[in-house]
Structure 1
Amino acid sequence: MTEQLEKLRMVALNIDGVLLNDTFSPVIHHFVTSRGGTYSADLERRIFSQPQAVAGKILAEVCGMRTSPMETIAVYFEDRARYLADHPVRVLDGAAELLRRIRALGLRTVCYGGLDASHFDRYLGHLTDLFDEPRYVCTNDIRPGLYEIAVDFAGLACDEVLFVDDVARVAEAARELGAPFIGHPSDFEHGYQRQLMAESGARHVVGSLDEIDDALLRTIDAEARAGTLWAGAPGKAVA
């Protein structure tokens, strides 16, 4: 029988960019550059993992558009629909195996993201039995939503929930809450998330889901138990 972990109780995995391929970064990049805007690390920092209304306002400003935030988001989703015609959403290699590894360690599993639950049902519905209630949490209105997922939805302490995300802003939120974090940044050639995660002090950043193995999960469990998850990170004292 697999030895259970001592501190961690749940893993929360972002849907797009972690369990599904990144279909947002390329569209945002094209949306901005095709309209004469400048794409940068600062723009990613300001816009990624933000509520749609916030992201829409920033996109409109950067692109010199006179549309309202939600009108801008509607145009963005039209662009995304065209992109998906040639680059469909797919489950990333190793996703199901990762979910099974997590559950074998006795951990609860939940998924979260900015789109509504129909997105989860459409692309991950065949893996529903590998998630625990509520299975999927839409975070658009509470982004980044880490505290709400851990405390309000799961009834756990923040340092008992491991978050796996492709966005550095989520790493920064995890650091502030003292929550465990694994970064899975997009390999999009114009992206800055790996750089921004390094700047955030994220200790564990992987290039594939296979890298999130029992050894890494046990290491993070030990760090959570010892209170050294973010030791030496910006804004934190070195242990």
Structure 2
Amino acid sequence: MTGPLTRLRAVAVNIDGVMLNDTFSPVIHHFITSRGGRYSAEVERRIFSQRQADAAVVLAEAAGVDWPVERTLEVYFQERAEYLERDPNRVLDGAVRLVERLRALGLRTVCYGGLDRSHFDRYLGEHSGLFDEPGYVCTNDFRPGVKEIVTEVFGLGFDEVLFIDDVARVAEHARALGVPFIGHPSDFEHGHQRELMREAGVRHIVDSLDVIDETLVRELDAAAEAGQLWPEQAGAVTG
């Protein structure tokens, strides 16, 4: 396949769950269930890709603890640090190749996530050359950040920026705005993001980042050009 893409101009790639392994789901699950709480799809929906302060309120409620936001976040990040000692952050297989393929198609790229810039610099600093300025966008103050990344970071139209994320809430916002989306849900055994993505009408859900190849990108490009990114019902799932 040759020739430039007709509609897509840029891609926003989530850091935790796409570029790096998912180190949030297991910690959130343990935080809740170890204190006698019930972990569910609705809990995930209310916590994932939310501002830290908002997520902390739901986290404490689900765990059954009456803590202020500051205390909840302190304990959560302490438990996450302990988890990372056992299962550290690492670049996912195929993540670097994915961004290289996207750039080879002439697409601008940025990475984004809810943690501050130091998280990106620590784990992806050696690959920062794969991303255009600003390289990394912290979305904690404007979760999930789809609108802001499209309009303020890239200065493009909603159907010109592809998002690749592991959280269904991002897909829901993408659908509402008419933004192209590919889902890469975590393989965490207690997770619900795959089913939530299907409920959101995500057409392309992949288990491997290598599935996001030129063929799939051009398919999304054609769908964006035709205005057919988000049908009323989910179509065939890829992956």
After TM superposition, the score normalised by the length of structure 1 is 0.96
Cα deviation, residue 66, structure 1: 2.0
Instruction: Kindly report which structure 2 residues correspond to 1:135-150, keeping only aligned pairs within 5 A, or say none.
Output: 135-150=135-150
Deviations 1:5-42 (A, max 9, x none): 11000000000000000000000000000011100011
Corresponding position of 1:45: 45
Deviations 1:31-56 (A, max 9, x none): 00001110001100111000000010
What displacement does 1:182 show? Answer: 0.1
2:129 is paired with a residue whose SS is helix
* Contact 1:165-1:184 within 8 A present in 2 as well: yes
Q: Deviations over 1:160-185 (max 9, x none)?
A: 00000000011000000000000000
Q: Please provide the CA RMSD for this pair.
A: 1.1
Structure 1 residues not aligned, in runs of 5+:
235-239
Separation in structure 1 between the aligned mates of residue 86 and residue 124 of structure 2, nearest angstrom: 20
1:124 to 2:144 alignment: no
8 Å CA contact retained: 1:98, 1:212: yes
Taking the aligned partners of 1:114 and 1:45, their CA distance within structure 2 comes to 15
Displacement over 4 Å in runs of 4+: none
| Per-residue deviation, residues 113-166 of structure 1 (Å, max 9, x unmatched) | 000000000000011111001110000010011000000111111110000000
Segments of structure 2 that go 5 or more residues without pairing to the other structure are: 235-239
> In the alignment, is the contact (CA less than 8 A) between 1:171 and 1:181 conserved in 2?
yes
User: What SS class does the counterpart of residue 221 from structure 1 fall into?
Assistant: helix
Aligned counterparts, 1:1-239, within 5 A: 2-233=2-233
Q: Distance in 1 between matches of 2:71 and 2:216?
A: 43
Deviates more, 1:37-46 or 1:225-234: 225-234
Shift of 1:73: 1.1
Give 3-state SS (helix, strand or coil) of 1:31's partner: helix
Give aligned pairs, total.
234
Whole-Å separation in 2 of the counterparts to 1:33 and 1:152: 39
Q: Verify the 8 A CA contact 1:201 1:232 in the aligned structure 2.
A: yes
Separation (CA, whole Å) in 2 of partners of 1:169 and 1:135: 23
Contact 1:159-1:179 at 8 Å conserved across structures: yes
* Local SS of the residue matching 1:20: coil
Cα offset, 1:60, TM superposition: 1.1
8 Å contact 1:3–1:105 — kept in the other structure? Answer: no
State how far apart, in whole Å, the 2-side matches of 1:37 and 1:172 are: 26
Deviation at 1:64, TM superposition (A): 2.0
Change (3 A) 1:231 1:78: same
Q: Secondary structure of 1:90's partner?
A: coil
Q: Partners in 2 of 1:62 and 1:27 — Cα distance?
A: 13
**Identity across the alignment (%):** 66
Shift of 1:233: 3.6
3-state DSSP of counterpart to 1:100:
helix
Question: What amino acid sits opposite 2:162 in the alignment?
Answer: L
TM-score by length of 2: 0.96
